[in-house]
Amino acid sequence: MNDGALISLRGITKTYGQGAAAFQALKGVDLDIPQGQFVAIMGPSGSGKSTALNILGCLDGPTSGAFRFKDIAVETLSRNQRALLRRHYLGFVFQGFNLLSRTSAQENVELPLLYRGAETTQRHAAACEALAQVGLTGWERHTPAELSGGQQQRVAIARAIVTRPLVLLADEPTGNLDSQRGHEIMDLLVSLNREQGITVIMVTHEPEMAHYADRVVKFVDGLVASDESKERT
Amino acid sequence: MTQMLLNALLLALRAIRRNLMRSFLTVLGVVIGVAAVITMVTLGNGATRMVSDQISSLGSNLLILRPGQRLGPGRDSAGAANFKLADVEAIKAQIPALKAVAPVVGSSVTLVAGNQNWQSQVSGTSNAYFVAGNWQIASGRQFEEDEEAAGKAVCIIGATVKKQLFPRGSPIGDEIRVKNFTCEIIGVLQGKGQGAMGQDQDDVVLMPIRTAQRRLTGNATDVSTLMLSLRDGVVADPVMEQVRKLMRERRKLSENADDDFNVMDTKQIAETLSGTIRTMTALLGAVAAVSLLVGGIGIMNIMLVSVTERTREIGIRLAIGALEHEVLLQFLIEAVALSALGGLVGIVLALFVCLGLTALMNMPFLFNPGINLLAFVFSGLIGIVFGYMPARRAARLDPIVALRFE
């Protein structure tokens, strides 16, 4: 076991359903992710990569196995305790952006801070700063309907980093964007990873996007099939 | 904790603002319910006050003695003899607790003055009537002793009669035709306004009782009603009993015969009437409260729709790290904020409706802080009761499922 790892999975399985209808999505996954790494998770549909991301993001608990995050045994935590873990250490970016409609970019970005109980002025300042980091200064008052897809994903990234999380989990972040916008989003994720040391775990099925990562983990049929790291350029 | 509540309130208000039109339609039921409850109760209170005011304008501590068995519809007066003038003297002499005893005979008669005519209630009575009925003379004078004794053709007219027949100038000294005789006007009464039953108390003509007996009713001794005015500070009940005893004696009723007359206390009438109005008020208020409850069901319906519609939003919140009870609180507070806002709008609406209706019905407008507060608190409670189920449903959602929800 690698004790220096931020995240450590040992023999993780996940079974959906019961009895004859049971489906085993993960069949014993071992994975260590050190702090500050940019990991891409790839694999065909049904390979278990999304299930793995849900478990890594503490959205779901494993059926069996050990999951340590910052030396916390996540598999023993209750639903609310996992929520607190997400609130304090994790940020999420989704394929479908998942912004609150009819709500300004700034209010969307402020949302995680509301749950942390931040003061109003501090909240506004942090939201504006996060929006500036993703290059959306001047767009604070716009609602998602008034923003392009790329801009919406930038707002979503701003919302994910406004709490300064340890880990950013991205589920197909470029899936709904054209290739040009996709590369811009990837550049943004890389710079957040390099400059702020945020660990990024990204699920994607596009090899050209996975190319941005330090490490590519391929899932096949509920198991890790290959795990390749490369030197940063 | 306070910070968390404030945050939840902020989130709730944002959600309401995002769906302004729907929010308004959702709470319309509560708005109408609250407005209906407050309006009913306020109008009921106004009506009660109006009745008691009018009864007290009749004269405080007044007893009314009438032939027949009881008050109200189906009053059995058949066979019950009228009173005699001698009864008046006997009551005056034997019951010292009475300030004044006024005999009254009356009939509805057409009055003619110049080329105008007017139907009015003409009463024959004595000067004691002014004391008993709490009447003031606006101009002119009361009857003189010789006018009463001789049954002279003189009369005092009410404010409405003056307005109808003598719109300009003083009618004192003018003549008026009452049925088939001519009568000199010697005074005008101060106006009193509408009576307890909605009748016009000022639509009267008063003349000495002998005049009325001789020229209107054609019966020289009968008196149909006696108005007995109690001295200040005298309790009505024992005096009523004295009057009853005396009249039984004078009318020679045997031990076990029922009274063939009845004595009423105006205060008692006022209380009976007020009691009836209060019952009506409570009843109408209860019906209105049911509509408030129906409004609550409307809120639950929309909150359930809202939870389904906002499943993704709930998923986002949960993914970001919202706790179950925070989501519950958010939706609960949203429901309460909605219904409480509806309650406030309802209170304002009721205020305008009450102002309009009381002005229309000549009723006093009595602002009742109690019922306003109660209706407001009740609307908030409705939010809690009907908002809980949808809120719990939202809080229990699985974030992964919620995020994928289309």
Contact A84 B318 (CB under 8 A): no
Of A48-52, B70-74, B238-242, B249-253, give the lowest mean pLDDT range.
B70-74
pLDDT score of B404: 85
B13 at interface of A, judged by CB pairs closer than 8 A: no
| CB-side neighbour CA atoms (13 Å) of B153 | 13
Residue B230 counted as domain residue:
yes
Nearest to B342 by CA among B30, B38, B37, B15: B30
What is the four-CA torsion angle of B49, B50, B51, B57, rounded to 10 degrees? 110
Contact B321 A87 (CB under 8 A): yes
pLDDT score of B197: 59
Label residue B70 by pLDDT band (50, 70, 90).
low
Instruction: Give how far B303 is from chain A: nearest CA, Å.
Output: 18
Residues B400 and A54: beta-carbon distance below 8 Å: yes
Asked which of B230, B259, B288 is the last residue of a domain, the reply is B259
Please provide the DSSP assignment of A45-112 as one string: TTSSHHHHHHHHTTSS--SEEEEEETTEEGGG--HHHHHHHHHHHEEEE-TT--PPTTS-HHHHHHHH
Q: CB neighbours of B99 closer than 8 A, spacing ≥ 6?
A: B131, B132, B229, B230, B231, B232
Contact B323 A117 (CB under 8 A): no
Do residue B219 and residue B345 come from a single domain? no
What CATH number should be reported for the domain whose range is A35-60+79-229? 3.40.50.300
Residue B60 counted as domain residue:
no
The full 3-state SS of chain B, as one line of letters, equals CHHHHHHHHHHHHHHHHHCHHHHHHHHHHHHHHHHHHHHHHHHHHHHHHHHHHHHHHCCCCEEEEEECCCCCCCCCCCCCCCEEHHHHHHHHHHCCCEEEEEEEEEEEEEEEECCEEEEEEEEEECCHHHHHCCCCEEEECCCCHHHHHHCCCEEEECHHHHHHHCCCCCCCCCEEEECCEEEEEEEEECCCCECCCCCECCCEEEEEHHHHHHHHHCCCCEECEEEEEECCCCCHHHHHHHHHHHHHHHCCCCCCCCCCEEEEEHHHHHHHHHHHHHHHHHHHHHHHHHHHHHHHHHHHHHHHHHHHHCHHHHHHHHHHCCCHHHHHHHHHHHHHHHHHHHHHHHHHHHHHHHHHHHHHCCCCCCCCHHHHHHHHHHHHHHHHHHHHHHHHHHHCCCHHHHHHCC
Q: Would the pLDDT of B369 be above 70?
A: yes
Compute the average pLDDT of residues B216-221: 77
pLDDT score of A2: 47
CA angle A83, A86, A92 (to 5 degrees): 125
Contact B7 A100 (CB under 8 A): no
CA distance B127 to A41: 110
Q: CB neighbours of B284 closer than 8 A, spacing ≥ 6?
A: B40, B44
Residue B71 counted as domain residue:
no
Q: Which of A60, A101, A112 sits opposite B320 (nearest CB)?
A: A112
SS3 for A11?
strand
Residues A112 and A87: beta-carbon distance below 8 Å: yes
Positive or negative, the CA dihedral A73, A76, A81, A85 is: positive
- pLDDT 10s digits, B314-350: 999 999 999 999 889 888 998 898 899 999 999 999 9
Nearest to B320 by CA among A19, A113, A101, A195: A113
Residue B341 counted as domain residue:
yes
Q: Would the pLDDT of B292 be above 70?
A: yes
CA distance B77 to B145: 33
Residues B154 and B208: beta-carbon distance below 8 Å: yes
Instruction: Give how far A135 is from chain B: nearest CA, Å.
Output: 22
Contact B316 A54 (CB under 8 A): no
What is the four-CA torsion angle of B311, B313, B314, B317, rounded to 10 degrees? 160
Do residue B279 and residue B235 come from a single domain? no
Mean pLDDT, rounded, of chain B:
85
Contact B321 A94 (CB under 8 A): no
pLDDT score of B258: 79
B4 at interface of A, judged by CB pairs closer than 8 A: yes
B399 at interface of A, judged by CB pairs closer than 8 A: yes
Do residue B246 and residue B331 come from a single domain? no
Residues forming a β-bridge with A220: A223
B316 contacts on A by Cβ (under 8 Å): 98-100, 111
Contact B321 A115 (CB under 8 A): yes
Do residue B218 and residue B286 come from a single domain? no
Residues forming a β-bridge with B223: B83
Do residue B90 and residue B50 come from a single domain? no
Do residue B105 and residue B221 come from a single domain? yes
Stated as kind and residue range, the H or E segment containing A127 is: helix A120-133
pLDDT score of B99: 86
- pLDDT 10s digits, A156-204: 999 999 999 999 999 999 988 999 999 999 999 999 999 999 999 999 9
Compute the average pLDDT of residues B35-46: 90
pLDDT score of A108: 93
Residue B385 counted as domain residue:
yes
Do residue B91 and residue B215 come from a single domain? yes
pLDDT score of B230: 86
Compute the average pLDDT of residues B391-395: 92
Residue B65 counted as domain residue:
no
**Number of domains present in the structure of chain B:** 2
Interface test with A, best of B320, B325, B327 (most A CBs within 10 A): B320
CA angle B269, B271, B275 (to 5 degrees): 120
CA distance B36 to B44: 12
ipTM of the complex: 0.92
Contact A86 B18 (CB under 8 A): no
CA distance A113 to A91: 12
Label residue B260 by pLDDT band (50, 70, 90).
confident
Asked which of B234, B259, B284 is the last residue of a domain, the reply is B259
pLDDT score of A57: 93
pLDDT score of A1: 44
Asked which of B259, B291, B321 is the last residue of a domain, the reply is B259
Instruction: Give how far B317 is from chain A: nearest CA, Å.
Output: 8
Annotated domain spans of chain A: 35-60+79-229
Q: Would the pLDDT of B120 be above 70?
A: yes
Contact A54 B320 (CB under 8 A): no
Does this model's pTM top 0.80? no
Q: Which of B7, B317, B322 sits opposite A117 (nearest CB)?
A: B7
* Torsions phi, psi for B387 (to 5 deg): -90, -15
Low-confidence ranges of chain A (pLDDT < 50): 1-2
Residues B138-156 as b/e (b if ≥16 CB within 10 A, e otherwise) read: eebebbeeebbeebbbbbb
Residues A27 and A220: beta-carbon distance below 8 Å: no
Compute the average pLDDT of residues B55-84: 69
Residue B237 counted as domain residue:
yes
Range of the domain at B312: 2-54+271-404
Q: Would the pLDDT of B13 be above 60?
A: yes
Residue B380 counted as domain residue:
yes
pLDDT score of B115: 85
Residues B306 and B332: beta-carbon distance below 8 Å: no
SS3 for A159?
helix
| CB-side neighbour CA atoms (13 Å) of A37 | 22
Do residue B206 and residue B301 come from a single domain? no
